[in-house]
Structures are given as C-alpha cells and as structure tokens.
Amino acid sequence: MPYLTPEMQAAPRGSLSYGYDVVVGGTTYRWAPASFAATVGAGVQYGGRVKSTSDITRSAMSRSNDLESGEFAVTLVDKDKLVAGLVESTASLRGSPITAWLGAPSVDPTKWSKRFVGALTKPDFPEPGLATLRFGFRDTALRREALRVILGRHDWPHAADEGVIGKPAQIVLGKRNSRGQGDGGAVLCPCVDTQAFRFLWSRGWAFGPDADRVFSSKDRTVPISGWTVEYVTRGGRLYTLIKFASSPADAGGGALPQIYADGRGLDLTGTGAGALAENPVDLLRIVLVNFVFGDYKTGAFLSDSTAPISTAAFTTAKDFATKKGYKDSWLLDASATGGALLNNWCRSREARAYWNELGELAVRFDNHLLTAAQAAAAPLLIADARSVGGHVRYEHEDDSVTDQITGTYSGGLQTLTVMDPTIGALAATSIDMPVSPAYVY
C-alpha cells in the first residue's frame, strides 16, 4: 500500500493525527492524542486518551541477517480506570490486536493510512491515572519451538529406544542426495516400529526415498532393497515412512541397523497432488505457515492467510528465485525456534526479512544488480524524511568489509573458503547455509 493514500496527502497537514484501535473481547476501543471524529464516510470517534507514544521502528535485519523485533508503548490517561477495568475483567490484555492509523477528520476512514498492526504484550500502570500499553509485532510463534511434534511411545509404542523417543519428528524438504558427498544416504531415518520394520522419512506427505538410494549402516556402500513408501497417521498426524517387508538386518539376524536414504521431501500442497517443493521461498513459506505459526496435521497445507506473512512479498521473492534458478533442500531434525529457522534461511540465501506496515512478515532477496535509482525506490530503503512526525521510521546497518569468507553448504557436508590473498585473514567471516542444494541434478 502507498505510504500515504492520495486522500491523506491532500488533507491539511495540521489535521493529521495518529489513532490506535485496540480489540479486547470483541470490542474495539479507539484512542488518539485528542478527541476527533471522521466527518465523512463511515464516521468513527476517537477518544483523547493518548498522553505519549514511542517511535515505532522497523529494522530490515541486522548485518548477521537476523530478523529484529521490538516493543513499543503508548501511554494513556486512565483517570476513569477504563484500561484498569479491562485488565481486571480479562485477566490479561496480552495478544489483543492493536492497529495504528494515520487519519484526519476530513478523510474517509477507509482511506486512512495503516501504520502498524501488531499485538499487545503487557499493560503497565506507572502512576495513578496513567496506563501504558506495550505492543509489538506478531512474533510470538517465532520465539517458540518450531518442531513441536516429538516422537513418543503413545504414537510409536514399538519405536527403537536409542535416538528415537524424545526426538523431534523430522521434516524433509527439497531433494536430499549424497551422491558425491559420501554416497551413503543423506538422511538418517529413525526406526519408529521395530516390529513392522518402519523407519521415518518425514512428517507430512513426502515423495520419499529415491529408487536404489536406501542404505544400511552395516554397509553404506551398497543400496538395499525390499522396501516401499508408506503413509500412516499417528495421533492425527500424517507421516511418510520407509516400510521393509522383512528385517533389514543381515541374513543372520541381529539388531536392526540404522537406515539412511536419499530422496525427495514435501510437495507443494500437502496431499501429494502437487510438485516437489524446492523453490527456497516455497520452502520457507511452507515451514512458517504450517509448522511455525500453524500446527499442520494432515491433508492440504494450511492457507497462507492463517499466518501473518505478506503473500505479495513472498510471491515477488519466489519470482526472483525462479528467475535465478534457485532450488534448495532443507532438513529439519533438531530443536530450533521459528525465528532461528527464519534467520538460517535468510543467511543461506542472502535475503532479508522484515515486518511491513500491515504487520506482515515479508522477505526479499539482496539483489546486487540493482542500480542506485532502483535501490532508492526499494521498500526497505524508505527514508526517514517520508515518515510523518518521525513516528514511523526504518533503521539500517552498514555492512562491514571482509577479506575471507568460509561457507558451509550442501546440508553441512561441504565447505568452501574464498579470500583475498593480498590482505590475509584480517576480517574473516563465515556463512552457514543449512538451506542450500544438497543434491546432484
């Protein structure tokens, strides 16, 4: 959306005012620095409770490619104890939606400019008659565990004891292939059923191992046969398994070996009706919508609208990745927060994540082919001078110079170091790319 709508740009500058909409228990409360009402369109009334506000600052990630969050505050006059009463009646305002608007009485509210969408974190009462509402981005899901499905006895009563129970149920995305990188299977598949000889390939519907690419730990140089891909539901969740007709142990019997495999992960739909998901933006979108913000179980993937992501920004980023021919793989098999997964993805692809003015999580690639004029018009480079009253601003960090870079890629199986030999390793840095090609086409 434009920074200011044409109607707001035409409004008398002295008439512009910020207003805050807070939804508590289904009721919308509207507060501003001074009482005002829209005189045209669907008129809305704002009560003059706002005493002071902090700047709302958005960051286009730090130099380490980490998404930065923030907490902001609006202090209200609460002599009638309205806010205090809301806290008492609801036990907590945490999570209540808040929207900041830039409006004017002479402009239809449908033409006002939305400056911020987020959620309340907590209320404070700094002194009698005042209430401070703290709010931030809708990033709670990014700060908690992403792989919340743990392999347990309730769903897998015959799972192997060692290295299985208590382990996150892994998720395979893209192609995982060890050819030229050990050639003994890129994915360790935990045994979830020692009696029926079932080994976990991935949560959800996945294409599964490739033909002749399943290996036993007893001899990882020779592929083994006698297996099929099986889809089962446990605890209401769908899993893709490798099912052996008989024990994959040696002919003489003995303990079950570990199973490794190369293959393909989730499809684009969650049902098997789509193509393999391997565009890096598709991988991130699927992970965020279904496993970070959502709790996918079975069937079609959750709608993108169920998560606070910018579908427009993700579509633009996907088009860029498609034109560049980017195809990635991603193995999620260890404990990590949603924010850590997002930051790993950004570091792997030199991309940036940020919260837009609609409170949506957006991503874009660093495109070093942009001209200076194009860069100045990029959405991440909005100058402070374009903000109104200095209330909303963007911050950026300057990149430092380095003379040596070590990259870890291909699922952690390979490294590459590039340096300027005329300088030496005076400002060395490293890049870990967990989301990267791990296959040979």
From CA 268, how far away is CA 289, in angstroms rounded?
Answer: 12
**Confidence label for 389 from pLDDT (cuts 50, 70 and 90):** very low
Comparing CA positions, the residue from 375, 376, 380, 377 lying closest to residue 364 is 380
What's the token pair of residue 262? 């190369």
Amino acid at 361: L
Q: Please give the residue that has the higher pLDDT: either 93 or 302.
A: 302
Global pTM reads: 0.79
Arithmetic mean of pLDDT, 395-408: 56
Q: Please give the residue that has the higher pLDDT: either 69 or 340.
A: 340
Comparing CA positions, the residue from 204, 236, 345 lying closest to residue 288 is 345
Sign of torsion over alpha carbons 47, 48, 54, 58: positive
Average pLDDT, the chain: 82
Percentage, residues of the chain above pLDDT 90 = 46
Length of the chain in residues, anyone? 441
pLDDT digits (tens, 9 = 90+) for 165-218: 999 999 999 999 888 777 777 899 999 999 999 999 999 999 999 988 999 988
DSSP 138: S
